[in-house]
Amino acid sequence: MTAGVAAPADTLLRLCDVHASYGAVRALHGVSLDVARGTVVALLGANGAGKSTTLRVISGMLAPAAGTVEYDGERIGGRAPSNLVRQGLVHVPEGRRIFGEFSVEENLRLGAFTQRRADTKRALAEVYEDFPILHERRRQRAATLSGGEQQMLAIGRALLAQPRLLLLDEPSLGLAPLVVREIYDIIRMISGQRGATILLVEQSAEMALEVAHRAYVLEAGRIVVSGTPAELRGNESVRRSYLG
């Protein structure tokens, strides 16, 4: 992975001046960003900056109050998430939303809901190959998995939907450093081998900047800085706020 090299500007996702609110509470005040095909883009920022909200708007969980969301050349603002999953836009949300009472395999089968049955069998075998621990625990209730295993399940499940754009919300949250490294190896592999485009939200910027081609920093619902990881590392205020 050659971090820091900008990919060719073939844009898969473009947000243009997106505003969003929860009831009366304004969460986004004009967010604009581009995600180029085949790249990993990191969206950084403190707690409450609007990172998750941005992902929610993209995946259709929250309709934007103003502005446009363009995915693969089409305006998608306000479309239902289930509809967008069929277009390959897959969101691993905050808190992972694993179905704890379902078995590991049932969770994975749900991930493949939009796919044809014949394709699913092969895709499931591939995910089991990439995540042997999920195969080992396939009959267990998902709630019994450790945090890291649950994150793997969430990512593996998303892969079964054959994502073209994968939205990952804080994949490292609550995980031990060693496990975080493992998860990031997986993210690298997804980007490299599968060629999926990834928009990654993180509070801990260090790991995210290692895999990202480009990064944006969100503060109080606005993008304040953007650039390559090298540029961000060179930015004094970014270093002070987000990098240890």
Partner 1 sequence: MDTFIEQVVSGVMTGSVYGIVALALVMIFQSTRMFNFGQGEIATFTTFIAWSLMLHMPYALGFVLAVVIAFGIGAVLERGVIRLVEDKPAMSGVMVGLGLFIAFNSISASIYGPEPHHFEQPFTGGPIDIGGVTIGRHSAYLFGVAMLLSALFYAFFRYTSVGLALRATAADRTGAELMGVPTGYMLMLGWGLATAVGAVAGMLVAPMIVLTPNMMFFVLLFGFAAAVLGGLDSAPGAVVGGVIVGVTQNLVGVYVDDLVSALHVGSIRDPNQYRDIVAMGLIIVVLALRPRGLFGRAIVERV
Contact between 138 and partner 1 by CB under 8 A: the answer reads: no
- Amino acid symbol at 181: R
At position 119, the amino acid (one-letter code) is D
Give me the residues paired with residue 26 across strands. 21
Q: Which is nearer to partner 1, 102 or 128 (CB)?
A: 102
- Alpha-carbon distance of 214 to 241, in angstroms, equals 18
Query: Least distance (Å) from partner 1 to the CB of residue 93?
Result: 6
The helix or strand, by DSSP H or E, that contains position 169, with its residue range, turns out to be strand 165-169
- Left if phi > 0, otherwise alpha if psi is -120 to 50, otherwise beta: which for 11? beta
Nearer to partner 1, 63 or 110 (CB): 110
Q: Does 59 bind partner 1 (CB under 8 A)?
A: yes
Please give the residues from 62 up to 121 whose contact with partner 1 meets the rule CB under 8 A: 80-83, 85-86, 90-91, 93, 97, 99-102, 106, 109-114, 117
The residue to which tokens 């190896």 are assigned: 185
CA 103 to chain centre: 23
Nearer to partner 1, 61 or 66 (CB): 61
In the complex with partner 1, the residue whose CB is nearer, 14 or 79, is 79
CB of 153 to partner 1, least distance (A): 12
Q: Does 51 sit near partner 1 (CB under 8 A)?
A: no
The distance between the two most distant Cα atoms of the chain, rounded to a whole number of Å, is: 52
Task: Give the count of residues interacting with partner 1 (CB under 8 A).
Answer: 27
CB of 8 to partner 1, least distance (A): 30
CA angle 188/84/7 to nearest 5° reads 35
Output the CA–CA distances (angstroms, integers) from residue 125 to 43, 92, 171, in the order listed.
Answer: 31, 21, 23
Write each residue from 157 to 196 as x if it is in contact with partner 1 (CB under 8 A), else as -, in one continuous string: x---x-----------------------------------
Residue 199 or 217 having the CB closest to partner 1: 199
Phi, psi of 101 (to 5 degrees): -85, -10
Using CB under 8 A, list all residues that contact partner 1.
59, 61, 80-83, 85-86, 90-91, 93, 97, 99-102, 106, 109-114, 117, 143, 157, 161
